[in-house]
């Protein structure tokens, strides 16, 4: 599976049970066609498609290497720097995928 990794400019917080995870480390993977359509279908009225897509493709990685889902609200209410960074990582992922074909 093709993926890119990186470090967000501003840390995101996620809950794992009762434990709060705060991390900048991410991994982004290209979605399958079905995963892409499901992410679109799960979006709510008024949500931005680009944020929905990036959240679905990206996981927050904790210090133990465990991946955590990034929600629309987590990403949407974080710094714009994170959005800009993830858009650049998406371009990198697309280039990596095209080179692998």
Give the pLDDT of the chain (101 residues) as one tens digit per residue: 899 999 999 999 988 778 889 999 999 999 999 999 999 899 888 999 999 999 999 999 999 999 999 999 999 999 999 999 999 999 999 999 999 87
Beta strand pairing call for 19-29 and 3-16: antiparallel
Tell me if the pTM is above 0.85. Answer: yes
Do the beta carbons of residue 13 and residue 78 sit within 8 Å?
Answer: no
Q: Which two tokens stand for residue 61?
A: 């990685």
The angle subtended at Cα 76 by Cα 32 and Cα 6, nearest 5°, is 60
CA gap 26, 67 in Å, rounded: 8
pLDDT value of residue 71: 93
Q: Say if residues 67 and 60 touch (Cβ distance below 8 Å).
A: yes
CA–CA separation, 91 vs 29, rounded Å? 12
């Amino acid at each position: 599976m093709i993926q890119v990794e990186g470090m967000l400019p501003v840390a995101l917080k996620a809950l794992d049970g009762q434990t709060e995870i705060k991390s900048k480390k991410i991994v982004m993977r290209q979605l399958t066609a079905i995963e892409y359509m499901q992410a679109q279908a799960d979006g709510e009225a008024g949500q931005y498609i680009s944020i929905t897509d990036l959240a679905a493709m990206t996981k927050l990685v904790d210090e133990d290497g465990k991946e955590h889902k990034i929600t629309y609200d987590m990403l949407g209410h974080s710094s714009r720097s994170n959005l800009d960074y993830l858009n650049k990582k998406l371009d990198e992922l697309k280039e990596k995928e095209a080179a692998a074909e």
